[in-house]
A and B are shown apart, each in its own frame.
Chain A
Amino acid sequence: MSKHHVTATINGEPTEFLCETSQSLLDVLRDELELTGSKEGCTSGDCGACSVMLDGRLVCSCLVLGVEASGRTVDTIEGMAQGADLHPLQRHFLEGAALQCGICTPGFLIAARALLERTPDPTETEIRYWLAGNLCRCTGYDKIVRAVMDAAAEMRGAR
């Protein structure tokens, strides 16, 4: 069977690609579009390193077929900063040392942004449960949760 010709909006840009049915959206992003910011940690939806937004909904791109992106919008870590202007979450992750090795960081940032878009003033518990699908093995999550809280406060204009 021939490859699918897919048109999607990726990080705001009209994008075309070819893919096999069996390729996941993560495979397409990484291997076809060279958007390697989304990471592959497990391919079973258990680590969240491949988190992206699909039509505004947080998903694991390893559990979406590439062909399913047809006609839809996909937002990845590569689209989070506007040029040199980092998103407040990105800035607070840096300032708060919320990353050590950094492999889980793109997934956490995408997931945290999805949370703050929906819940501008999350409690610590809300943050922890929302991010439970993103594994980090380096930080013990402490500085990640704090960075999300700090970014949320800034975005609310509370500081």
Chain B
Amino acid sequence: MTAERKEFRWIGKRPVRPDGVDKVTGRAQFSADFNMPGQLIGKVLRSPHAHARIKSIDTSKAKALAGVKAVITGADFPSLPDEWVGAGRVEGNFKYFSENIIARDKVLYEGHTVAAVAAVSAAIAEEALSLIKVDYEVLPHVIDPVEAMAPDAPLLHEKMITRGMKTPPTKPSNVAKWAEFLMGDPVEGFKKADVIVERSYTTKAVHQGYIEPHAVAASTSADGQTVVWCSSQGQYQVRTWVSKIVGLPLSSIRVIPAEIGGGFGGKLIPYLEPLAVRMSRLTNRPVKITMSREDVFRATGPTSGAAMKIKVGATKDGKIVAAEGEFIFQAGAYPGSPFMNGLMCSFAPYAIPNVRTWGYDVVTNRPKAAAYRAPGSPIAAYAVESALDELAKKLNIHPVDLRLKNAIVEGTPSYFGPKFGSVGFVETLEALKKHPNYNIPLGPNQGRGFASGFWFNGGGESCATVNINDDGTASVIEGNPDIGGSRASMAIMAAEVLGIDYDKVRPIVGDTASLGFNHVTGGSRVTFATGMAVVRAAEDAVREMKERAAMLWDISPDAVTWEDGFARPAGDNAGKHEPLSLKQIAGQAAKTGGPICGHASLNAQAPGPGLGSHMVDVEVDPETGHVKILRYTASQDVGRAIHPSYVEGQMQGGVAQGIGWALNEEYIYDKNGRLENPGFLDYRMPVCSDLPFIDTIMIEKPVPSHPFGVRGVGEVPIVPPMAAVANAIHSAIGKRLTSLPMSPPKVRAAIDGDA
């Protein structure tokens, strides 16, 4: 727990979140909780095949069914050009986005949307789906990314040429993109190494696993104005997608953010919204669509599985002199795995003079990969941090000390871009060494593992409005869905700047018409970038209030200061005036120029990168291979913990997801390319009894570019756990598991030497 600092009144405190009462009483409206009068129910027809050509779709019988109001297929959407927008690791292609939302000529995975209907009841909509006749030509499919790279593999996109190569290949393949990062000369570097570790690793696709299935309600009036109600990680992103995919001007779409029941990256992109909007425009009635849990598993998320080769070399004293990594990431049905993040994050925590990473974005007959918490980084870290553990053991250096010897510090050059700014990596490692858990003796079959992780953290476009009400309260309007307590952070920062009580600040998440553009709730950017906008907006309101006070006092605004919610004369030269409270100034706003509204609009730059170091103790049942997590300690540079409880919560939640990824979660396919575990029964996310309390250590190294030093905290915590658990298992049983998940059968096989 962070010591509360005297210089802050609200920052670092733990008040109840503004949206809390609604969420503990059942009043909060999540996406599926919203209904409109006259609403139609939409249902989606999905492909039963992993790969098939759509020869024809006959919707006539479905359309003729009484109560059916709309039936749509890919033909109801515009064809979009095959063009990439956005830079490097975050680029996108709306042709692919559109075809993923509703198939055109081919279905590329089981669960791929083929058609949708809207009817007066769910039962009629279901019946209509059964009346749609799709003539498929089933094609050979490929699920595994390495198999998909084979020369004779079935091609998902018959004309796709690998992008990113200096000499583009002449033949199409399933490799959508190739990329490489290089610093120094690894070949020469490895010659200097006394010890080299070289090993291959694989991971499976895993789902974000939010508990709220996707849902949307869309309504279009006779003048073509559409309102969309849905939960997402960005109402503006939904608006953009609907605009592009349905073909509408942005001004005709208003997206109202519902409360969001978890996203973790998986709700950055819409799935149902364009379908609902299209059908609401055809019918001029509200259309509501809700996914089942099976739909969620079959057609949304997951993140990539991967195959990786890592090589690291160090001198006897533990200095890493060279590193290489090959990363093959499965993209799912359309290009766009987070492989470039993997290339960049893999060795990012370490100052290594010679680094080369390269990788492949490989399409497979699976749902298109979606972002999942620090996308790409946890996958790469599993491989690299496992290899480092092996290296440490070979060098006979404690794994924490190996990391300390090579940790990046401010000013270390990165192999993928500029030098690192403020980073608190060393501090996270030193804190682990000081934690009581570091020295707890281990029993038989128990092991302790360590791993670290990196995430870029994001900035970007945000705006916010702070309205000062005439009773001395303030309303904050922000544009980012609150996925884990961010309203509380915004209110804390606004209260701190305004100098009023937290309880007097009421934040809301505005719809797309109530504020300018805001980038998504993702990339660990919200408390940093939107927080910065809220701070600047509150400062703008303070500036305005100082001007109003100056007007009332008839002095220059420069002669007014703002302290603890009061305007005061700056000094004796400013004259003798009784301080004016925010409430007093707000109460006279009509006389002094009208409503007081602070606003800020910015593109936040220079987010501080996130680094974390984890320590986990496990106990392995040597007969069953079952791994029990005994204790877990996560140490992280959090910049400044605005609301420490929600920072701890991000750390604990990320760790829990990472433990699930490590031990049991995986997409399992049958030989026909159909997902065998599209439900919570067999997609095994951690349950309450699987986990211990998760200890957190918050290191506060403020980020200079943010007024309060905020650093993104949400993503780093999922990066180290898989390697930390693998390393702990190795410490317990002396065997190294190089493929996720480390489920009981695999652990037992490792113990028996079968694998």
With A41-B293, A101-B483 as known contacts, state yes or no: A141 contacts B691, CB within 8 Å: yes
Residues from chain A with a CB closer than 8 A to the CB of B484 are 100-101, 138
B693–A42 contact, CB under 8 A?
no
Task: Report yes or no: B30 in contact with A39, Cβ–Cβ below 8 A.
Answer: yes
At the interface, yes or no: B476 with Cβ under 8 Å from chain A? Answer: no
Q: Judge if A38 is at the interface, Cβ distance under 8 Å.
A: yes
- The answer to whether A131 and B26 touch (CB under 8 A), given A100-B483, A101-B260, is no
Could you say which of B17, B211, B657 contacts A97, with CB atoms under 8 Å apart? Answer: B17
- With A80-B25, A136-B211 known as contacts, the answer to whether A94 contacts B685 (CB < 8 A) is no
Q: Select from chain A the residue with minimum beta-carbon distance to B486.
A: A100
Contact present for B652 and A96 (CB under 8 Å): no
Q: How far is the CB of B522 from chain A (nearest CB, A)?
A: 14
Q: Which of B14, B25, B212 contacts A103 (CB 8 A)?
A: B212
Chain A nearest CB, measured from B610 CB (Å): 18
CB distance from A13 to the nearest CB of B (A): 15
A47 to B212, CA, bound (A): 10
**A2-10, A66-74, A142-150: which lies at the B interface?**
A142-150
Structural contact, A140 and B26, CB atoms closer than 8 A: no
Determine whether B415 belongs to the interface, using a CB cutoff of 8 Å to chain A: no
- With a 10 A CB-CB cut-off, give which of B14, B292, B652, B657 has the most chain A CB atoms: B652
Instruction: Pick from A35, A93, A97: contact of B14, CB below 8 A.
Output: A97
B680 touches A36 (CB 8 A): no
Decide if B561 is an interface residue (CB 8 Å cutoff).
Answer: no
Cβ-closest chain B residue relative to A35: B26
- Please judge, given known A-B contacts A41-B211, A94-B20, A137-B653, whether A101 and B261 are in contact too, CB under 8 Å: yes
Given A46-B679, A46-B681, answer yes or no on A145-B25 (Cβ-Cβ < 8 Å). no
Interface contact B16-A103, CB-CB below 8 Å: no
Q: Which residues of A contact B262 (CB under 8 A)?
A: 100-101, 103, 137-138
Is the CB–CB distance between A102 and B293 below 8 Å?
Answer: no
Q: Which of A37, A44, A97, A99 contacts B293 (CB 8 A)?
A: A44
Min distance, Cβ A4 to any Cβ of chain B, angstroms:
16
Of chain A, the residue at the smallest CB distance from B651 is A140
Q: Is B362 an interface residue (CB 8 A)?
A: no
Are B261 and A135 in contact, CB atoms less than 8 angstroms apart?
A: no
Contact residue among B26, B656, B687 (Cβ-Cβ distance under 8 Å from A36) = B26
CB-CB under 8 A from A61, the residues of chain B are none
Min CB–CB distance A142 → chain B (angstroms): 5
Question: Once the chains bind, are A138 and B649 in contact (CB under 8 Å)?
Answer: yes
Q: Which residues of A contact B681 (CB under 8 A)?
A: 44, 46
Q: Does B87 contact A (CB under 8 A)?
A: no
Write out the residue numbers on chain A whose beta carbons fall within 8 Å of the beta carbon of B29.
36
A-contact bits for B189-216, CB 8 A (1 contact / 0 none):
0000000000000000000111111000
A49 is an interface residue with CB less than 8 A from chain B: yes
C-alpha gap A133/B690 in the complex (Å): 12
A95 to B14, CA, bound (A): 8
Give CA–CA (A37, B22) in the complex, Å: 10
Q: Which residues of A contact B680 (CB under 8 A)?
A: 41-42, 44, 46-47, 135
A119 interface residue, CB < 8 Å from B?
Answer: no
Is the Cβ of B17 less than 8 Å from the Cβ of A94?
yes
B27 at the interface (CB under 8 A from A): yes
Inter-chain contact B652/A140, CB cutoff 8 Å: yes
Complex CA distance for A96 and B14, rounded to whole angstroms: 9
**Cβ of B439 < 8 Å from any Cβ of A?**
no
Contacts A41-B212, A102-B259, A135-B685: A142 and B679 contacting too (C-beta < 8 A)?
no
Which residue of chain B lies nearest to A101 when distances are taken between CB atoms in the complex? B262
Whether, in the assembled complex, B689 has its beta carbon less than 8 Å from a beta carbon of chain A, the answer is yes
Partner of B655, one of A36, A47, A140: A140
Specify the chain A residue showing the minimal Cβ separation from B687: A132
**Which of B27, B264, B645 is in CB contact (< 8 Å) with A137?**
B264
Residues of A within 8 A of B290 (CB): 40
Compute how far the CA of A118 lies from the CA of B617 in the bound complex, rounded to whole angstroms: 33
- Neighbouring B residues of A95 by C-beta, 8 Å: 16
State the CA gap A86–B292 with chains docked (Å).
32
Q: Which of A44, A103, A128, A142 contacts B261 (CB 8 A)?
A: A103
* B:561-607 near A, CB below 8 Å: none
Check B32 for interface membership: any CB of A closer than 8 A.
yes
- Please give, as numbers and ranges, the residues of chain B lying within 8 Å of A99 by CB-CB distance: 20, 23-24
Task: Give the interface centre of B32, B260, B643, B680 by most chain A CB atoms within 10 Å.
Answer: B680
In the complex, 13 of the A-B residue pairs with CB atoms within 8 angstroms, ordered by the A residue number, are A30-B32, A37-B27, A43-B293, A90-B25, A97-B645, A100-B485, A101-B260, A103-B212, A106-B24, A129-B688, A136-B688, A137-B210, A143-B652
Q: Which 10 A-B pairs have the closest CB atoms?
A: A37-B26, A103-B261, A140-B656, A102-B23, A97-B645, A100-B484, A46-B680, A140-B652, A77-B26, A36-B33
**Residues on A facing B (Cβ under 8 Å):** 30, 35-44, 46-47, 49, 76-78, 80-81, 86, 90, 93-97, 99-106, 109, 124-125, 127-129, 131-146
19 new A-B contacts at CB < 8 Å, known A37-B27, A140-B649 = A30-B32, A37-B26, A39-B261, A40-B213, A41-B212, A41-B680, A42-B293, A42-B679, A42-B680, A90-B24, A97-B17, A97-B643, A101-B260, A135-B687, A136-B211, A137-B211, A139-B656, A140-B656, A141-B688
